[in-house]
Structure 1
């Protein structure tokens, strides 16, 4: 497990317009389909506090949207919404439970749900579904989730997560940090796995130690190198993949304090194992800067020198990726030889 944040989180009423635009631009890039398709862009958005859902769509022609409590239970006999062309559309669906959608336009079909989960007590809570792989497949929705700390989740948040239903939780924080800010877990969780990864510690002690560094950017790059080269970290990620590859583990949350460093590297490694390209992996990593802005902006305003500790930069993850390639020749070598990832099994479990 690894460091819990002892700096107080400041909950702001909403994401500002600039942040919303950046989030939308990213979601549009990751949902971008072939330009000659009838469905060009499609995404589900849930409001953080009300959990109300909407569909943002760019499409040509008539379309229908179907819904269900899981991908397998989508009711394809009666659409919840029909339309023609592009627009933003309010969806009259439950705000207490997760819903999965199938969008049908002509002979095209697309499975959808929200990438960024509407956690009133969380910030960087995301589904790893919906990413296109280099061989044209898609990662499954509703199986693997990355998150920041779970200690502030509300009763409604927990009810929402229970509807998925979350079965397992992996906590990358240190034991002392987890004791200070224990996870609040949905009632459906049967398995919890504390896997300590020390680099990335965001406890008050960890923050103070990091702020003493002469060059914090250099320190953050070094930390990302350690995540993939330090024997204890490598061992932790090997255990992480052993759990993920157990078909009884998912739906599964893995998290740290901010969901950007330890959980960020874990996400990158999972997506690489599933065949997602490096540019997409980096785009996803960089979204932590947007999703965490409300959480840490007040602290950064007070202590500007700490900014790099509480954000992400391309050079940070790139340092880790470059370290893997230097040490192992390729990311796939690192995954299969060092972390003992069964790529065939991973793709059978987590790709459509």
Structure 2
């Protein structure tokens, strides 16, 4: 299997960032490549340093799409410069994906049951995030770029958005799954951030082996998402057309902008 990270050094080294990387540099079937430097994905931006701000400025970012819920943004606001030039898009909505921690407290809970719950959650997550994904894809079609989209870990909501976008562009499925799995490089940092978040108190007293699957970028999770949307819509593009409402013009514009 090709190591996706070797195709292009896509990770942006931020001191206080988490899982910030370029989605560009992947080949597609017709010989073109996903353009670099236009669309980025990330985890939380709540601990960015002044040096990180300078790096983001150098990237020329125009827009930040924050997929986090209202409560998440209140608990851990992004640390951005007051004079930032980029637009910040958010939407008010409750915490996503349900709270799996109560089930992880049950006496019969195991790492295997936790993994199975997350796989099932991934079958619904793309649908739960339709309003955010609709906004993201429309902005990529005709809004200012470069753009970064993010959630907390940059794995679930962000990972599905990135996978649907790369799939729409024609990136091979094995590379889409490998791109998702790069998040596992940030596992320790992700656990550190969870511990700092008030949400982390919900994990107190739960054996780490039981909640660890929640922090992993297991390709089986993403495969469950694709299996579900393909069964319902025929393809990832079918989901984008049916649920996000993008037409031929918008989809064509995304491909025209992001492929070269």
Is 1:226 paired with 2:119?
Answer: no
Between Structure 1 and Structure 2, which shows a larger proportion of strand residues?
Answer: 1
* Alpha-carbon spacing, 1:225–1:185, altered in 2? closer, same or farther (3 Å): same
Match of 1:27 in 2: 5
1:236 lines up with 2:236 in the alignment: no
The counterpart of 1:304, out of the listed 187, 209, 217, is 209
Q: CA contact under 8 A between 2:71 and 2:95: conserved in structure 1?
A: no
Give 5+ residue unaligned stretches, structure 2.
Answer: 196-202
Q: Which residue in the other structure is 1:111 paired with?
A: none
SS, match of residue 292 in structure 1: helix
Which has the greater radius of gyration? 1
| Aligned partner of 1:175 among 46, 70, 84 | 70
State the shift of 1:176 in Å.
1.2
1:54 paired residue number: none
> C-alpha separation between the residues in 2 aligned to 1:243 and 1:271?
16
Picking from 311, 316, 327, the partner of 2:232 is 327
Poorly superposed stretches of 4+, deviation over 6 Å = 297-302
Picking from 89, 97, 109, the partner of 1:193 is: 89
Relative to structure 1, the CA distance from residue 312 to residue 145 in structure 2 (aligned partners, 3 Å threshold; closer, same or farther) is same
Give the equivalent residue in structure 2 for 1:136: 31
2:255 alignment counterpart? 347
* Matching of residues 148-187 of structure 1 within 5 Å: 148-185=43-80, 187=83
Q: Is the 8 A contact 1:229 1:323 kept in 2?
A: no
Query: Is the CA contact 2:134–2:245 (under 8 Å) kept in the aligned structure 1?
Result: yes
CA contact (8 A) 1:234 1:339 kept: yes
The change in CA–CA distance for 1:26 and 1:291 in structure 2 (over 3 A counts) is: farther
In structure 1, the partner of 2:175 is: 280
1:211 aligns to 2:104 (yes or no)? yes
Aligned to 1:163, the other structure's residue is in SS state helix
- Distance in 1, matches of 2:16 and 2:207, equals 23
Q: Give the distance between the partners of 1:197 and 1:135, measured in 2 at CA.
A: 41
Conserved? CA contact 2:71–2:94, under 8 Å? no
Q: How far does the alpha carbon of each residue in 1:291-347 deviate from its partner, in whole angstroms, 9 at most, with x for none?
A: 233432796997221101111112111111000011112222112232223221001
TM-score (norm 1): 0.62
Q: Which residue of 2 aligns with 1:245?
A: 141
Q: 1:144–1:252: 8 Å Cα contact kept in structure 2?
A: yes
In the alignment, is the contact (CA less than 8 A) between 2:119 and 2:220 conserved in 1?
Answer: yes
Taking structure 1 as reference, are residues 241 and 198 closer, same or farther at Cα in structure 2, changes over 3 Å only? farther
Distance 1:242 1:212 in 2: 40
- Deviation of 1:175 after TM superposition, in Å, equals 0.7
TM-score, structure 2 as length reference: 0.83
Distance 1:251 1:287 in 2: 21
Cα distance in 2 for partners of 1:256, 1:209 equals 22
* Aligned match for 1:119, one of 5, 11, 14: 14
Query: Displacement of 1:25 after TM fit?
Result: 4.5
| Structure-2 separation of matches of 1:329 and 1:310 | 29
RMSD: 2.5
Cα distance in 2 for partners of 1:209, 1:237 equals 28
